[in-house]
Amino acid sequence: MRGFTAILRRDLMLAVRNQGEMLMVIGFFAIAATLFAFGVGPEANVQSRISSGVVWTMALLAALLSLERLFALDYEDGTLDQLMLSGVEPAAMVLAKTIAHWLTTGLALLIAAPAVALSLQLPSQAYGALMISLLLGTPTLSLLGAVGAALVLGSRRGGVLLSLLLLPLYSPVLIFGAAAVEGAILGINTTAPYAVLGGLLILALTLCPWAGAVAVRHAVE
């Protein structure tokens, strides 16, 4: 447990001292949404119709963008080998790094999401659903992403490969995340998508740290 908090604190400190990363994620999120607005045109009703899906998709892509560096820097300078030798349970190490990743990117996305949604004319009754669905969904994205990031460690084409691996795995989260927001716009009870997002989060929380630990072990061996 001490090792877990130590790794968590270390990764958070690194993120705080090197804020470029967080800002980049938010910047990508905002710019991608702007490009979407250019793509579909300025009519408010068209934007409002697709805003729920666009905000969720852009948040997902922004989360994907930052994943490559989750383990890569520690892998390159050998820190990851030391962490694996340190006696901390590898799954706990992966979980700590994943939580740190979510706190620095997922949370940032959560803060930026209302502004992006506002610019895309998301109807006002849907903001609560947007925040709840992102809160339940983005940790799952980080957890799945940790497995993917560990799998591509040391590969020849990290970034593109990572997207190819993760986007199929991300599709259920996107479906239910966007469905919750869409439901809220239409005034439908959104308990079902929340429940599924929560279920996916619990499933990811129980399986991903272990799968990630196996992948990291393969990478440093």
Partner 1 sequence: MHKFANPTFFMKIANAIYPWAVGISVLCFVIGLPVALITSPPDYQQGDTVRIMYVHVPAAWMGSMVYAVMAASSAVYLIWRHTIAHIIARASAPIGAMFTALCLVTGMLWGEPMWGTWWVWDARLTSMLILFFLYLGYIALGDAFEDQERGDRAAALLALVGSVNLPIVHFSVEWWNTLHQSSILSMKGFSISVQMVVPLLLMVGAFQFYYIAVLVIRLRAELLAAKIRTARFNLAAAG
At its nearest, how many Å lie between partner 1 and the CB of residue 151? 5
At residue 147, what are phi and psi to the nearest 5 degrees? -60, -50
Per CB under 8 A, 189 contacts partner 1: no
Under the binding rule (CB under 8 A), the answer on residue 132 touching partner 1 is: no
2 binds partner 1 (CB under 8 A): no
DSSP string, 19-51: THHHHHHHHHHHHHHHHHHHHH-S-HHHHHHHH
**Which candidate, 181, 146, 220, places its Cα nearest to that of 54?**
181
**Residue 206: burial class (beta carbons within 10 Å; 0-12, 13-18, 19+):** exposed
Query: Cα(117)–Cα(47) distance, rounded to whole angstroms?
Result: 10
Q: Which residue has the tokens 């991903």?
A: 208
Site for partner 1 (CB under 8 A): which residue of 155, 187, 195, 202? 155
**Contacts for 172 with CB less than 8 Å, ≥ 6 apart:** 196, 200
Q: Out of 154, 187, 188, 202, point to the residue binding partner 1 (CB under 8 A).
A: 154
Binds partner 1 by CB under 8 A, chosen from 50, 103, 107, 165: 165
Is residue 125 a contact point for partner 1 (CB under 8 A)? Answer: no
Burial of 66 (0-12, 13-18, 19+ CB in 10 A): buried
Part in contact with partner 1 (CB under 8 A); list of ranges 43-51, 112-120, 126-134, 213-221: 213-221
Nearer residue to partner 1 within complex by CB, 12 or 161: 161
Structure tokens at 136: 């339940």
Site for partner 1 in 25-84 (CB under 8 A): none
Does 205 participate in binding partner 1 (rule CB under 8 A)? Answer: no
CB nearer to partner 1: give 128 or 199: 199
Contact between 169 and partner 1 (CB under 8 A)?
A: yes
Interface residues toward partner 1, by CB under 8 A: 147, 151-152, 154-157, 161, 164-165, 167-169, 171-172, 175-176, 179, 196, 200, 203, 207, 211, 214-215, 218-219
